A and B are shown apart, each in its own frame.
Chain A
Amino acid sequence: MAVKIRLRRIGAKKAPFYRVVVADSRYPRDGRCIEELGYYDPTKEPSVFKVDAEKANAWIARGAQPTDTVKALFKKNNI
Chain B
Amino acid sequence: MSKNLDMCRLLDLYGCLLTEKQFDIMDFYYNDDLSLGEIADHYEISRQGVHDAIKRGDEALTEYEERLGLLKAEQERRDEIAGFRELALAAFNECNAHRSFRNVAEKIVVLLETFDEKLEEYENPAPTEEKQD
Contacts and interface: CB of A to CB of B under 8 A. Distances in A.
Interface of A: 6-14, 16, 18-19, 25, 28-29, 31, 33, 42-43, 47, 67-70, 72-73
B38 A12 contact: no
23 contacts: A6-B34, A7-B32, A8-B33, A9-B30, A9-B33, A9-B131, A10-B131, A12-B129, A12-B130, A14-B9, A14-B13, A14-B74, A16-B5, A28-B32, A28-B38, A29-B32, A42-B1, A42-B2, A43-B5, A47-B1, A69-B1, A69-B4, A69-B33
B67 interface: no
A10 B9 contact: no
B contact residues, range: 20 to 34
B4 to A, nearest CB: 7
Report, nearest first, the 10 A-B pairs whose CB atoms are least far apart: A31-B133, A9-B31, A7-B33, A12-B128, A6-B33, A16-B8, A42-B5, A14-B12, A13-B12, A67-B33
Contacts of B33: 6-9, 18, 67, 69-70
A16 B30 CA distance: 10
Nearest to B133: A31
B12 to A, nearest CB: 5
B129 A9 contact: no
A16 B130 CA distance: 11
Nearest to A32: B133
B38 A25 contact: yes
B132 interface: yes
A16 B42 contact: no
A52 B32 CA distance: 20
